[in-house]
Amino acid sequence: MLEISEVEIAVVKPQNGLVAFASFVINGSIYCGSVGIMSRPNGDYRLLYPTRKIAGRQLDVFHPISRDAGQQIHDAVITKFEDVVKNGRNRYDSAYPASV
C-alpha cells in the first residue's frame, strides 16, 4: 500500500480536456509533479503523467508500473481535486490551507 500525501491541485482553464495539474508525495520520499488531470466525456477523470521529447521521441518522466499503484494515486488525486472544485477555491489554489 502506498502512502500518497501532500496532494496539491492547481486548477486551470479547461483546454482540450485538461482541467488541473497535481503534485503529490509517495511514501514520504518521492515528489511527483506536473501530473495532468484530464476530464473524460463520461464525466470521469484520468491522470496524465509527464513526458519529455528527446531526440524526436516522447519519453516517460515517471508513471505507476502496477495497476494497483496507479489506482491508489488516481483515487488520492481525484478525491483532492473534487474537494478543491467543490469548495470553489481560487483558480491556482492548492488543496491545503495557507500556513500562517
Q: What is the mean pLDDT of the chain?
A: 90
* Domains, the chain, with CATH or none: 4-86 (3.30.1120.40)
3-class DSSP state for residue 26?
Answer: strand
Cβ-based neighbour number of residue 27 at 10 Å: 10
pLDDT digits (tens, 9 = 90+) for 4-37: 999 999 999 999 999 999 999 999 999 999 999 9
- Own/partner pairs for 34-42, CB < 8 Å, 24+ apart? 34/61, 35/77, 37/9, 37/77, 37/78, 37/81, 39/14
DSSP, collapsed to helix, strand or coil, labels residue 80 as helix
Exposure string (b/e) for 75-87, b if CB count within 10 Å is 16 or more? Answer: ebbbebbeebeee
CB 22 within 8 A of CB 47: yes
- What's this model's pTM, rounded to 2 decimal places? 0.85
Cell numbers for 63 = 508513471
